[in-house]
Amino acid sequence: KAGVTQTPRYLIKTRGQQVTLSCSPISGHRSVSWYQQTPGQGLQFLFEYFSETQRNKGNFPGRFSGRQFSNSRSEMNVSTLELGDSALYLCASSSGTTENIQYFGAGTRLSVL
Amino acid sequence: QKEVEQDPGPLSVPEGAIVSLNCTYSNSAFQYFMWYRQYSRKGPELLMYTYSSGNKEDGRFTAQVDKSSKYISLFIRDSQPSDSATYLCAMGSNYKLTFGKGTLLTVNP
């Protein structure tokens, strides 16, 4: 069974640009969560989607948005990039039930110059 | 007070040692508890998960949860150099995981 796939693996952008990251969950999983990981703050929850609906949201500004498609694939968008957005962005998939065991992809490393 | 506090380490032990990693939490709403291992430049890998107080064993790993004290631990027996990684505790409720900042473990041959 294939794991969680994130593309691209690396991105370099400049301030003010926008970026879109993609995540394909494990087959059969309907929930996708996004996290930001930085050395100073650790792993921080961005949002979670289940059946194309955002079910939970963390404390990030509105520049961070996401969506989920009918095949459970998800995208995350960051608009008007800031230097502080440089981080590893991780996607995790789960069945979406109350057990919520999450499996992570390898992440997309975003550098904002 | 942060919702999840994790001993920051770093921790350096000789091969074969018993390793103890710990987290405390303040949110009584947390329903499930997990430990992840993250190698450099990789995503976190699920090691253990549990939903109740008590111990859960899987090979060389034992996860311990004490809900009354809001404390969880991961024990690694007979540690190996391949166990060298960052260990993250995670606690969940409402389809959201809250992570500790991680403990960097180095097991020296």
CB B24 within 8 A of CB B92: no
Answer yes or no: do B97 and A33 touch at CB < 8 A.
yes
Which stretches within B12-96 are classed as H helix? none
pLDDT of residue A30: 93
Give the chain A residue whose CA is nearest to the CA of B101.
A42
Considering only CB atoms, which chain A residues are within 8 Å of B98? 45
Answer yes or no: do B96 and A45 touch at CB < 8 A.
yes
Assess whether pLDDT exceeds 90 at residue B103: yes
Q: How far is B97 from chain A (nearest CA, A)?
A: 7
The span from the CA of B67 to the CA of B62, in Å, is 16
Q: How many CB pairs below 8 Å do chains A and B form together?
A: 58
Q: What radius of gyration do chain A's Cα atoms show?
A: 13
Q: How far is B45 from chain A (nearest CA, A)?
A: 7
Give the chain B residue whose CA is nearest to the CA of A34.
B96
Assess whether pLDDT exceeds 70 at residue A1: no
Whole-number Cα distances in Å, B67 to A100, B26, B51: 19, 10, 10
Sheet holding A5-7, edge to edge: A5-7, A19-24, A74-78, A64-68
CB B39 within 8 A of CB B54: no
Q: For A41-61, how does the pLDDT look when each residue is reduced to its tens digit (9 = 90+)? A: 899 999 999 999 999 999 999
CA A49 from centroid of its chain's CA atoms? 10
Q: For A66-111, how does the pLDDT look when each residue is reduced to its tens digit (9 = 90+)? A: 999 999 999 999 999 999 999 999 999 998 776 678 999 999 999 9
DSSP A72: S
Calculate ∠ Cα B94-A38-B60, nearest 5°.
Answer: 70
Residue A60 phi/psi, 5° resolution? -120, 155
CA B77 from centroid of its chain's CA atoms? 14
Selecting from A48, A101, A104 the residue whose C-beta is nearest the C-beta of B44 gives: A104
The span from the CA of B104 to the CA of B86, in Å, is 4
The span from the CA of B45 to the CA of A103, in Å, is 7
